[in-house]
Amino acid sequence: ACSTEIIRRADNISEKGVSLFNRMYHLMLEKGMYFGPSAYEVGFVSSAHQEDQLHQAVEIISSIAEQAWNTMR
């Protein structure tokens, strides 16, 4: 199960969490979305992104998160 604990340090990220991130990262690349390739990096939203792009990203990320989680069980 995933923890609901807030991660404040890199050494608090579990191996399962890193594996889940890696799976999501590759699935997102297949959908044309790029995130930093490390589970230890932070991401930022640019003011250059339009609202419709952000809504599309939310839908893609939600779908991929569910898909990745289901393959990790």
Residue 6 has pLDDT above 80, yes or no: yes
pLDDT tens digits along 55-67: 999 999 999 989 8
pLDDT at 1 over 60: no
User: How many other CB atoms are found less than 10 A from the CB of residue 13?
Assistant: 14
> Are 23 and 66 contacting, i.e. CB atoms less than 8 angstroms apart?
no
> What's the pTM?
0.73
Average pLDDT, the chain: 86
pLDDT tens per residue, range 22-38 = 999 999 999 998 888 88
Position 48, amino acid: A
List Cα–Cα distances, 70 to 3, 23, 49, 67, 73, in angstroms: 16, 11, 30, 5, 6
